[in-house]
Amino acid sequence: MLITSNLQPIGIFDSGLGGLSVVNAMTALLPGEDIVYFGDTGRVPYGTRSRQTIEQYTAQDIAFLQSKNVKLIIAACGTVSSVAFHVGEACGLPFIGVVKPTAQEAILATKNKKIGVIGTAATIASESYTKEIAVLDPSVTVYGQPCQLFVQMVEEGFIDADDPIALAVSKRYLQPLIDQEVDTLILGCTHFPLLTDVIRKVMGDGVTLIDSGRAAAKAAAKLLGDQNLLSDKSTGTQTYFVSDRTEAFSDVAGRFLGREIPTVTRVVLE
């Protein structure tokens, strides 16, 4: 797949709508970029799947974005970045995941060298963040906590800080990390920034939250700049595709992004 113009769009994919946190960050950092977003809402969540299945889904997601002539692909999915990053590396286009840039930000943020990581079951089991942080700073201790229900909560719209369901589930998941006195918490799934208010309420203001979506967007902006691939337009467009019902996606996505979502198109992946 050739890159022939800096005006080609950026491709972003996720298992659902969590990757919209990357869209938000990208439009803030690089408002002139066109973005094609694919949310695999028909097969969410990825975090409970086998490695083989995650690799298969990743390859299909990437192939779809390549069909849209993108110049860069961002895996806005902690599970894919942890388990199937090699699939993206082999796609022939610049490819960015969330693990490395997020780990770098967390190391810079921590004061007591205790970092918590929350993610899907597959992300935590892979120990991708633990391994990456160990390479960057062996003196840091990492505590992983799978929070699988967070994905479903976001997809269902249970994201308000005063929602009793969101609070109860968050307290149950996060208490072990509070007990370990982590001062930095990696939101290791791009769904999780949509729960920022709830998580901050439970963890307290003394804990720094690291948004994996924002970290990936910063890395993408740097890569595009380094390779002279930045768009010279003043305003870009966003195009949205999903693999399941478009109405549910538009409703929750619109609330998260704070603006009405234009046409969302349903596609069937082969």
* Residues 89/26, Cβ–Cβ less than 8 Å: no
What are 210's two structure tokens? 């690291």
Does residue 237 sit in helix, strand or coil?
coil
C-alpha–C-alpha distance, residues 102 and 98, integer Å? 6
Q: Where are the alpha helices (DSSP H) in the chain?
A: 20-29, 51-66, 78-83, 85-89, 99-109, 121-126, 128-136, 148-156, 164-179, 196-203, 212-226, 246-257
Just list the catalytic residues. 77, 189
What does the alpha-carbon distance between residue 150 and residue 69 come to, in Å, rounded to a whole number? 33
Q: Which two tokens stand for residue 231?
A: 């768009």
| Cβ atoms of 58 and 159 closer than 8 Å | no
Which amino acid would we find at residue 29?
Answer: L
